[in-house]
A and B are shown apart, each in its own frame.
Chain A
């Protein structure tokens, strides 16, 4: 599978490394080249400096041939614009958008975006752990 990831933070870099390990073709985009230090030494994917909400940058990242696009920058709005570009301009089959804000997450889910909210997921998991201590 060919995957373009926007945002090389903890989540982005870990996901990129895992997918690369699994034999997938990964391109990771970040505005800040120093973020690529998070990638492991043997990373076989491509890293590209640029703003993922710029359509030309996405093209250079190979979005036109990508099977999936994942937006995991720190900014919800950044992720939402890039994801909608991937989905509606480049017709990427599988687009996943991270959103911290729950209200916005629900809103964009209703608009048809596939979203994931660490706020919801993690608070739910911690709640479960509190209710069912080992």
Chain B
């Protein structure tokens, strides 16, 4: 595959090295001349110096024959523009953007970026998984709908604890799909009682996360 990487920082450099070792043709676009020199020294001539947000540079990089464009600069706005230009102007079949602010994930998908990777989100997920009393854990992003699968632990003093599912006010487009209690997993109905210690698996919108967390986290 021919892969264009925009951004030659730490992520871009290590990603370029990994993709090269897998046998892909890789070109890194980087603005900073010193970074360009050090990448070229380490990886061979794989760098084009310039601003990947400029159509002329993308054209020079051969974006119209690229199979994949990956934008991994430190700026969400730059990564968005790179991917939108690649898709809209050069018809790149697939674009991937790194996102620094997790709140941008749904807008990027809405604007046609095929895949997004939020480093903040990935690190948060790992940390949350290591902390036993996590109120809300992300399990997966569900396609381009701006939905996600989350795991909530019903804490002591939570607003939802001791109530039937139908009496709990859930944010819009939120579905409680599974409840794992002391007696194992069960598919909930409106009559299902939410108890302290239950694990609740739900589908929700990214922006509804805080409202959902508020129902199941401790109120203290």
Contact = CB atoms under 8 A, between A and B. Distances in A.
Contact of A81 (B54, B76, B110): B76
Given A88-B110, A104-B53, A53 B85 contact: no
B56 interface: yes
Given A81-B80, A84-B111, A103 B56 contact: yes
Contacts of B75: 77
Nearest to B78: A77
A78 B110 CA distance: 17
B84 interface: yes
A54 B88 CA distance: 24
B176 interface: no
A26 B81 CA distance: 28
B88 A80 contact: no
Q: Which of B54, B76, B77, B78 has the most chain A CB atoms closer than 10 A to its own CB?
A: B77
Given A54-B101, A107-B89, A84 B55 contact: no
B89 A81 contact: no
A53 B101 contact: yes
Interface of A is mostly: helix
B103 interface: yes
B99 to A, nearest CB: 11
Interface in B45-99: 53-56, 75-78, 80-81, 84-85, 88-89
A85 B54 contact: no
A41 interface: no
Contact of B77 (A80, A107, A110): A80
A110 B75 CA distance: 24
Contacts of A55: 103-104, 107, 207
A84 B110 CA distance: 10
A46 B118 CA distance: 33
B107 A85 contact: yes
A32 interface: no
B88 A53 contact: no
A89 B107 contact: yes
A107 B107 contact: no
B113 to A, nearest CB: 11
B77 A53 contact: yes
Given A84-B107, A107-B55, 9 more contacts: A53-B104, A55-B104, A77-B78, A81-B104, A84-B111, A88-B110, A103-B55, A104-B53, A107-B85
13 contacts: A53-B77, A55-B107, A77-B80, A81-B77, A81-B80, A81-B81, A88-B111, A89-B106, A103-B56, A104-B55, A107-B55, A107-B84, A107-B85
Instruction: Please name the 10 residue pairs, one residue from A and one from B, whose CB atoms are nearest each other, closest first.
Output: A77-B77, A81-B77, A103-B55, A77-B81, A78-B77, A55-B103, A77-B78, A81-B80, A85-B107, A88-B110
Interface of B: 53-56, 75-78, 80-81, 84-85, 88-89, 101, 103-104, 106-107, 110-111, 207
Interface of A: 53-56, 75-78, 80-82, 84-85, 88-89, 101, 103-104, 107, 110-111
